[in-house]
Structure 1
Amino acid sequence: MAAITYEELQVPVSGGHLTVLHWPATVRPQGDGPAPTVLALHGITSNAMSWAGVAHHLGGRVTLVAPDLRGRAGSSDLPGPYGIAVHADDAVALSRALGLGDVILAGHSMGAFVAAVAAVRHPGHFRSLLLVDGGVGFPVPEGLTSDELVTAVIGPAMDRLKTTFPDRDAYRAFWRGHPAFASSWEPWTEAHIQRDLVGTEPQLRSSCRIDAVRTDGADALGEETTAAVHRLAVPAELLWAERGLLDEPQALYDDERLKAAGIGDTKIRTRMVPGTNHYTLLLGDDGARTVAGSLLAATGAADPDGS
């Protein structure tokens, strides 16, 4: 399959501009209408390039638009306030600014919670949702401050935000040593981590603003955010990873946790993706292919691999 190229856009939102990656459809759709569109939202310490593997497996059948969320990568200078509702409104603002229609809204991890809130705050704006290992509440420790709660869930990621790296090779080595990537490292994985770096050697650091991560993390775990999936008026699919953030056996979701979340009477259908963890469900080859397949099914576009 040929490489899928993208362009970088600046899209006006409240307080400034979001940096947005745009992978245009290159395959003429059946009929006279435009190619279907997916708006894709990344996780709490991630960036838009996390969707590059999905773009690869979409094979030009779908237009894919992915912003760097406020406080990250190309949008790191966009000021607060932060929070899930703010990101949700940003997603709708960029959708309107780009004139996107008949949109499938996708989100990974925190981005899935943003997607659910966006669909509730802006009813009728999105055709359906794809939630990738997020969006549905999961058990969290009790009796902790908001900072402690966020650290308990994404502790190693918070540590990374406070660390400086002497060069890009050191940052690559940090990620190559992460247990989630022990058996999976793709070209788009490399592009994703390198997009995160800012500063100059020997003081490179993550572009993610710690204040944004703290605010968004506490907000994502709050009752108002986790209630959104129970109020969805559009169909949604949850793809959940078999393993956790550190490739541990206990994933964010399992059958028991999903049953306890009470989503059986919602519009959400669920599917576990074997052999994936929280990161590789989006950044690994098998995971990206599965996510792309769900999006192709949701948009009605043909599978680029013909399977």
Structure 2
Amino acid sequence: MASAASKLGGGVKRTLAPPSPSPSVGSTTSAAAAGSSTPRKDRDTPSNIVFSQPALTGTGDSIVSQMAYAVSWLRGKDEPQGYQDVLGYLSLTARPEQDQEFFVEQMRRHPQIQWIPDPELSEQTWRSGTYLHRPTIPNVKNKTQLLAYLQKKTDASAVSVKDLKDGWPDCETAINELEAEHKILVVRAKKDGSARNIWLDDASLFHAVDPQFRLMWARVEVPSVENIVHRLLTAQQKPASEDPRLKAMQAPKVDKKKKRTQRRTGKSTNDHMQDLLKDYSHMKK
């Protein structure tokens, strides 16, 4: 049997069975009409697809997301960084050279990234120079610089703490210290008490108030405007300014009547009706 098998194996070639032919349109239609209760479209469609959700489009590989990562990375660096450092952080060094050059050109145009040209080169290339984060409020990273920036302002607008944190992330401690020294005015959020806006303040205008006087002032019940006017009139004193709301309530309502407009008779131009339009009142007895 072994010798016979070797002889057969040497002369016969084994081939894979051909795939079974797909059923015709007529057969599938008849099968579905005969007993299949589920349409073919529902059977072929995977059940784990959620059509209300968008399809996956990537994991932050677009130039917009990569530029946001670059700005965030440069924000934490105190010294200028070269283009290779930025591309290495973003894992873009393996990209083609034209892609790297395009990304570097977009970095130079970004409003939050400052490009520092190489002073030793007369002609700059896309590989030359270094990059630094450009904050919304530049050159403010300590209390002295913050007070100088507030003093240079020419208007009374507030300085947003959010813009200040763009270039000085840990400015909360300095803001609290300057507020305690009465050098800045701070508006805080009611929810968590965090600083929202700041203004320049003058410490010489601050005067300490006795805590006992504050307690007494808090206990004083301030009457309403109606009660103040009523008490002054009861004491036979004329109020400095009467309540306009009381005047409006006491004033009698006057019904405004519409004036009837008189009809104006124009010049008659109908010649054939002159006898009908003529005044015969003088002929009455």
TM range (shorter): under 0.3
The structure showing larger relative contact order (alpha-carbon pairs under 8 Å, at least 6 residues apart) is 1
> TM-score when scaled to structure 1?
0.20
> TM-score when scaled to structure 2?
0.21
Counting strand residues as a fraction of each chain, which structure ranks higher? 1
Larger Rg: 2
